[in-house]
Amino acid sequence: MHSIQYKQLHVRPAASLKGTLVPPASKSYSARAVLAASLAPGTSTIENVADSHNVKAMIECCRALGAVMTPDGPGRLRVAGVARPRDGVILSPGNSGIVLRLLMGAAARSRGVTFASPYTESLGRRGNSEMVEALRALGVVVTAEGADGRLPITLDGAGAHGGEVGISGRRSSQFLSGLLYLGGLLDEPLAVHVTDELKAWPMVRTTLAVLARAGVAAEAGADLLTYLVRPGGGFQPAAYACGSDPASVAALLAIATAVESDVEIRSHGLEELGGVLDHLRAVGARIDEDGTTLRVRGGGPLRARDFDGSQAPDAVLPLAALAAHAEGTSRFTNIEHIRYKECDRISDFRRELTRVGIDSGETRDELIVHGSPGGVPGGVTVTSHYDHAVVMAMSLVALRSRRGLTIGDPQYVAQTYPAFFEDLRRLGATVAA
């Protein structure tokens, strides 16, 4: 049974969870690697490429731009890239901001490329004005919906050039990453400076790592606020290997911490977990590390702890769901940028917390969760807001509740982790359509 074929799933409370899981591959690294490989004339290979819907959207877009993708064994993709992406195509980034913003950079030298998304109530509502303005400054003719640069967006890059450009990093670092990809395609140097602050800096490090592997000379200042991409030979074929998805690992760790459990997570090399392990240990989990395997034992009393969300933005929601069962109040700080994801991950998530009886608060930059150590009664229906992080967080709440939760539109977990519910079942949870 593919759980993501259903519009509702009921997640029952779990007495205990036990077993071993291999988490999905990193969607962030996979999406960047697929694009870099597609822009490199020649053949690249990608090991352990993610099968998340975001990455599949990137693969389909790159196919439309002319790259040839050939599955080459389990989790392995062979990519024949093109020097000059096709003109006149319509690209759907699915519901992924990173796929959209990276491609806006990569397609900014092409003619007549249009971006549109069926997710009109999610990605379709997210603004891209930072990227639109930066591309215009670099000679790209951009048409977009509304002043905040919403989809559909059309680019004509016949006059694209290098030079200097500023970009805001306050709402998202994805615009910066997109510009760095464009820099790798230009014949002139491209200097980019961040005009305010850079919130999700770990993601920029991932971009720089992939660009370096593709032979693109992108130099970053020590503060990650200035960048210079020098013209060279463009993107070169390379061999990429994707690690495990940190957001999914964080969610699994939080779930195993929430209930009586003994769970092993065998990863393909862990990407930076951004303080998540230390936080979970402080909250009350027992976590042992053995190479790339994490063993977590949970179910004990949970302590409230604060967390700086800029270290691991995608981990905030599962950690906040865990905090809902801790003794005391937890504050998740430095997270304004997670308001601009698949949903407003502060206000929309709080709406669902309220629905299940969890007390919480918010400021512009902060989520405050007041714990209920006894858990919640459950027995209500919550909705996903098109967001994989909400689905995983609400599953945690359901597993620790007294009557479980019905999760509406759970299929959007597939943006990151298509087998999430099947993996919960493997650990002994009951999930019913």
CA–CA dist 393, 252 (Å, integer) = 10
- The radius of gyration of the chain from alpha carbons, rounded to an integer in Å, stands at 21
Q: Which is nearer to other proteins, 28 or 92 (CB)?
A: 92
Q: Which is nearer to other proteins, 68 or 239 (CB)?
A: 68
Q: Choosing from 314, 348, 409, 423, which is the catalytic residue?
A: 314
Q: How far is the CB of 279 from other proteins (least distance, A)?
A: 33
Q: How far is the CB of 118 from other proteins (least distance, A)?
A: 4
Q: How far is the CB of 174 from other proteins (least distance, A)?
A: 20
- For residue 297, what are the β-bridge partners? 262, 286
- Indicate the length of the chain as a whole number: 433
Q: Which is nearer to other proteins, 12 or 111 (CB)?
A: 111
**Which structure tokens are listed for 49?**
């490429």
Task: Please answer whether residues 60 and 34 qualify as being in contact, where contact means their C-beta atoms are separated by less than 8 angstroms.
Answer: no
Measure CA of the first residue to CA of the last residue in the chain; give whole Å.
9
The secondary structure element, H or E, covering residue 37 is helix 27-38
**Which structure tokens are listed for 114?**
């249009």
Where do the H-state alpha helices sit in 233-367? 246-258, 276-283, 316-323, 347-355
Pairing of strands 190-198, 163-169: parallel
CA–CA distance from 144 to each of 125, 132, 149 (Å)? 12, 8, 5
Residues 6+ apart with CB under 8 A from 222: none
- Give the chain's count of helices (H) and strands (E): 12, 24
Task: Please answer whether residues 280 and 249 qualify as being in contact, where contact means their C-beta atoms are separated by less than 8 angstroms.
Answer: no
**Of 88, 72, 37, which is closest to residue 58 (Cα–Cα)?**
37
CA–CA dist 296, 279 (Å, integer) = 13
Q: Which residue reads 């989520």 in tokens?
A: 367
Q: How far is the CB of 180 from other proteins (least distance, A)?
A: 26
Q: How far is the CB of 406 from other proteins (least distance, A)?
A: 13
Site residues, other proteins (CB under 8 A): 1-2, 4-8, 53, 56-57, 60, 86-90, 92, 94-95, 111-112, 116-121, 411-412, 414, 418, 433
Q: Which is nearer to other proteins, 92 or 173 (CB)?
A: 92
CA–CA distance from 125 to each of 133, 150, 243 (Å)? 18, 6, 31
Catalytic status, residue 187: no
Q: How far is the CB of 393 from other proteins (least distance, A)?
A: 20
Q: Which is nearer to other proteins, 111 or 297 (CB)?
A: 111
Q: How far is the CB of 128 from other proteins (least distance, A)?
A: 18
Q: Which is nearer to other proteins, 11 or 254 (CB)?
A: 11
3-state secondary structure of 391: helix
Q: Which is nearer to other proteins, 240 or 412 (CB)?
A: 412
* Angular region, 97: left φ>0, alpha ψ -120 to 50, beta rest: alpha
Catalytic residues: 314
